[in-house]
Chain A
Amino acid sequence: MSVLTARPSSGDSQRDSSRVESPAGQQQRVEMILAQIDQLPTLPTIALRVLEATQSSTSALKAVAELISTDPSLTARILALVRRAHVGVRADYLTVLRAVVLLGLETVRSAVLSIKVFDTFSALEPGEGAAFDRTEFWKHSFAVACAARQLTSQAPKGSAARRISPEQAFIAGLLHDLGKIALDACLPKSYARVVKVAAARRVCLCDLEREFFGVDHMVVGRRLALRWKLPSYVPDVCWLHHHPIDALPASIQFPGHIAVVHLADQWVRRQRLGYSGHIDFQPLAPLAEKAGVDERLLDELMAPLIEQVEQQCAVVGLGEVSTVKLYNRALADANEELSRLNLALTQTSRRLHVRTRGVDAVAQFTGRLSVTDDLLDVCRAAASSWRELLSAPLSAVFVCPPRWGSQLCTMAWEAADRAGSDVFPLPGDCVPRATTETRPIEPPAWSQLILEHCRMRNGNGDDQSAINDPQSPREWRMLPIVHGGELLGGVCFTVSAESPAAEERDESTDESLLAALGLALAGAISRADAGRLHEELATAHRQLRQAQDQLLRTRSLSMIAEMAAGAAHELNNPLAVISGRAQMLAMQFADPQDRQAVEVIHEQAVRCSQIVTELMAFAKPASPSPARVALSALLQPILRQWLDSCPLSAAQLTWHVADPAVTIYADISQVTTILDALIANALQATRPETARVHVNSLSRGSDETVVISVEDNGVGMTPEVAEHALDPFFSYRPAGRGRGLGLSKAHRLSEINGGRLWLESTPGKGTTVWVELPARPR
């Protein structure tokens, strides 16, 4: 402890460096500060002895005078005080004893005390640059002391205040802020900071003291008063002079002193006499009532008070303070305070005005939107609102949501006399990268793009003079529109140098409108996404339905095929028996007619069996063994054979292979079966004399597949027929002309070879059947 108190400045800096501490650490720090307070010089002995000597009414005036005479400077000041107070006294006639008699014991006591306290702290005057103005502090203290004395002496008879000795009130008032000067003496640097911060933040000094030191000047003052063994009401006043009177503990001995000093303190604050460090003002009436003082008394207080303060200052040697100066100073302080308040009010008003504009802009923007607006509408409203907010010559709002690939830009722009919007793809190097700050951007690819679009929309270049005018240089600025952490796009606008709106802008206004834009744009993007999803869903649903239908068809087809295969297998045995018996009968019959009859039985049985065999081949086709073969080499023999066997001429049955090198990868015998079936189908649908059948082939899908088409000019099919044309055993031809397995067999074979088959038909015009087959192994 002794080390710390011996070097108070080191302890001071240590406290400054560590503001946040544990409760234990804070307690320790408070103790250190209080220990430093204890290390302050004690009150000079003479002051104490004068205090003791004047304590009793029976004190000999002579003893007091002798005591004062032992201190030359005190003697000089007391005599000066007498000269000042009693102008008529002759100087050569004045002795200390006479002065004591003239002043009275009470006055002498308070004078001695004030002089000595002042002297004690003057010895500890800090160097240059101290923020705590001691002169102003003493002025405040003297003002409070004088006011308290005045209040008690003029209080109505019988009131609580009247019971307090005016000189006690004076001492209490003088020393009520003893803690402040003690703190300043002990911790000059820290206290200077506290005073500065309190002035800057405009907060109560006590709160900051507690924040900085852990103790306030009340506690410190009480401690010092106790240590100096000052009259017992002084520690209480020091300690509790900010305390509400009603809340004082019952054990407090001098509530009257406290109430009077409190009232005087408040009143002096209002008059701005000296520096108190407090900016809060409490209503005086209740305080006056509690102190037992007539409130009207306060109004009469000012004039004598100034004189008394002046006198006291002279006594302690606080420089020449004239009444006028004090008045002026008080007025100047009040004016300064007023102008500061006025400035703050003006600033607040302007800020509010700008914010109102922002809120208006947001409200207007919101009003322009409707639920059904698409992205372009929102952009248009945003550009317009933004331009109105900034009074900018040109503003543009663009959106390129990252999840749309950032390449498709939706943009709306608005200038003074025209507006427009566009959706356009951005060149890769021109995708705008919105910055997070509103720094001016070069007239860049970006703005050129906007201008380009303006020009395109306006059709002529004349209107551009307003925008592109080199005489009025403009700054391009860009702000990002962010929503939910995702950069959606940006606002681009020009700001002319003389634009008045530029100065009135407020970042929070921009931010609120940007947030509203972001929200609206995000909503519009979500709606667009939802719309797109909806369409995709509808497409997917349609595809699913088709796939389901196809699956159902395939399943029913394969079920029928399975059934047919089983039935066919079982049918063959009875057919063999029937035909066998018929043949045996034929051998036995001698009559040719009988023999012919049983031979018919045999023939029909054989025909039945053929149908059954075909059915089985359709239901369970052999698994294909694919090979790669040139299409022309495959097609030519088939078509030659058909030319030889059917009644058509070479002009009627034609074929064309676009690329002779094109190949297919499939089971050759099955492809032959497919083509045979298709050509047979085409021939059956036409009349031999007018028939034209054309076989064409082309590569598709970057040579992945080959499509062969068989086109005829036959009777064609109605849509109902075409729908079922690929079903087995479906034939639109008259009964007996075919078993209706040709197309369905071709369909099935093309499917098991990895291809597909489809047809188009117009009644009366003809039918075209396409077969798609793989060109190479997959």
Chain B
Amino acid sequence: MPANRPDQIMLVETDPALAEVLAESIAPRLDAQITRAASAEAALDTDLFEPHDAFIGRLDLPGLDGLELAARILAVRRRPFFLIGDALSAPQAIHALRLGVNGFFTKPFDLADLLDSLDLTLYAYNEARRQQRRQRQLRQLVRRVVRQRRDLNSRMDLICRDLVQAHRRLVSRVLAQESRPRESV
């Protein structure tokens, strides 16, 4: 897995103009690759074959709404998920928090704020992933060292045994040599 692969962000928004504004502002700033979807169902299908690193979803979508989409996406794996919309009622907000949605942005957006939040969350997410990856490599290394040491030990044991046997043979041969000259005298 290449280390500095650009982030894959899925943008689910029905209004193409708004989607374009968001894509154009997010992609250069976060150095990310934006995938656009016009519905929750399309987004889920795409994510199935090509997992994305983060999601920006509109709250009121045709068919499955934004909260439903968040529930399904986040059930697969925890990823940054942002909701955008007109307004969020208190029950909706509580539901979103429980699902693990990272933020909600009301239209019209303060782009700087939105990009900062997105960048920060993605960075934190990526960092967390990088840390996880490093930990995993370390654990593999340790396991290999342990295994090599165990091999070495067994080899040492074999050598020692051979040495003991050779010594025993030598002793017996020495003892045999000492008894023969006496006869020749």
Contact = CB atoms under 8 A, between A and B. Distances in A.
Contacts of A584: 21, 24-25, 111
A576 B107 contact: yes
B18 A577 contact: yes
Given A583-B25, A584-B25, A576 B109 contact: yes
A577 B86 contact: no
Contacts of A583: 25, 109-112
Interface string B31-71: 00000000000000000000000000000000000000000
Given A584-B24, A584-B25, A578 B108 contact: yes
A608 to B, nearest CB: 8
A579 B84 CA distance: 15
Nearest to A613: B87
Interface centre among A568, A578, A580 (most CB of B within 10 A): A580
A575 interface: yes
A613 B86 contact: yes
B22 interface: yes
Nearest to B89: A622
Contact of B108 (A569, A575, A616): A575
Contacts of B183: none
Contacts of A575: 107-108
B59 to A, nearest CB: 11
A28 interface: no
A49 interface: no
Interface in A562-613: 568-569, 572-581, 583-584, 587, 602, 605-606, 609, 613
A673 to B, nearest CB: 15
Contacts of A568: 86
Contacts of A576: 18, 21, 107-109
A573 B111 contact: no
Interface in A615-637: 616, 622
Contact of A609 (B21, B22, B107, B111): B107
A203 to B, nearest CB: 104
A569 B86 contact: yes
A580 B108 contact: yes
Interface in B64-111: 86-87, 89, 107-111
B15 interface: yes
Contacts of B108: 572, 575-576, 578-580, 602, 605-606, 609
A574 to B, nearest CB: 8
B3 interface: no
A613 B17 CA distance: 21
Given A577-B18, A583-B25, A584-B21, A572 B109 contact: no
Contact of B18 (A573, A605, A616): A573
B80 to A, nearest CB: 20
Nearest to B113: A583
Given A573-B15, A573-B18, A580 B109 contact: yes
A580 B111 contact: yes
A575 B109 CA distance: 9
A575 B18 CA distance: 9
A581 B25 CA distance: 9
A412 to B, nearest CB: 72
Contacts of B89: 622
A576 B89 CA distance: 20
B29 to A, nearest CB: 9
Interface in B119-138: none
Contacts of A574: 17
Nearest to A575: B108
Contacts of A580: 18, 21-22, 25, 108-109, 111
Nearest to B22: A580
B21 A577 contact: yes
Contacts of A609: 107-108
A581 B87 CA distance: 21
A577 to B, nearest CB: 5
B39 to A, nearest CB: 16
Contact of B86 (A578, A602, A605, A616): A616
Contacts of B22: 580
Interface centre among B21, B108, B110, B112 (most CB of A within 10 A): B108
Given A577-B21, A584-B24, A572 B107 contact: yes
A576 to B, nearest CB: 4
Nearest to B20: A577
Nearest to B15: A573
Nearest to B24: A584
Interface centre among B109, B110, B111 (most CB of A within 10 A): B111
Contacts of B87: 613, 616
A667 to B, nearest CB: 12
B18 A579 contact: no
A581 B21 contact: yes
Nearest to A602: B108
Contacts of A616: 86-87
Contact of B15 (A577, A578, A605, A622): A577
A579 B17 CA distance: 12
B36 to A, nearest CB: 15
A605 B112 CA distance: 16
Contacts of A587: 25, 111
A133 to B, nearest CB: 119
A572 B15 CA distance: 11
B25 A573 contact: no
Contacts of B112: 583
B109 A579 contact: yes
Interface in A329-353: none
Contact of A572 (B21, B86, B110): B86
A303 B146 CA distance: 184
B136 to A, nearest CB: 39
Nearest to A569: B86
A599 to B, nearest CB: 11
Interface in A676-706: none
A622 B109 CA distance: 24
A468 B111 CA distance: 104
Nearest to A579: B108
B178 to A, nearest CB: 99
Interface centre among B18, B86, B112 (most CB of A within 10 A): B86
B13 to A, nearest CB: 9
A606 B108 CA distance: 6
B58 to A, nearest CB: 10
Nearest to B87: A613
Contacts of B17: 573-574, 577
Contacts of A622: 89
Contacts of B24: 584
Contacts of B111: 580, 583-584, 587
A573 B21 contact: no
Nearest to B85: A572
A607 to B, nearest CB: 10
Nearest to B21: A580
Contacts of A602: 108
A202 B166 CA distance: 181
Contacts of A569: 86
Nearest to B19: A577
A573 B110 contact: no
A577 B20 CA distance: 9
A583 B107 CA distance: 13
Contacts of A578: 108
A512 B143 CA distance: 129
A347 B87 CA distance: 105
A622 B107 CA distance: 20
A95 B6 CA distance: 185
Interface of B: 15, 17-18, 21-22, 24-25, 86-87, 89, 107-112
| Shortest Cβ-Cβ A-B pairs, 5 listed | A579-B108, A576-B107, A580-B21, A576-B108, A583-B111
11 contacts: A572-B86, A573-B18, A573-B107, A576-B21, A577-B18, A579-B109, A580-B25, A584-B111, A587-B25, A587-B111, A609-B107
Given A587-B111, A602-B108, 10 more contacts: A568-B86, A575-B108, A580-B18, A583-B109, A583-B110, A583-B112, A587-B25, A613-B86, A616-B86, A616-B87
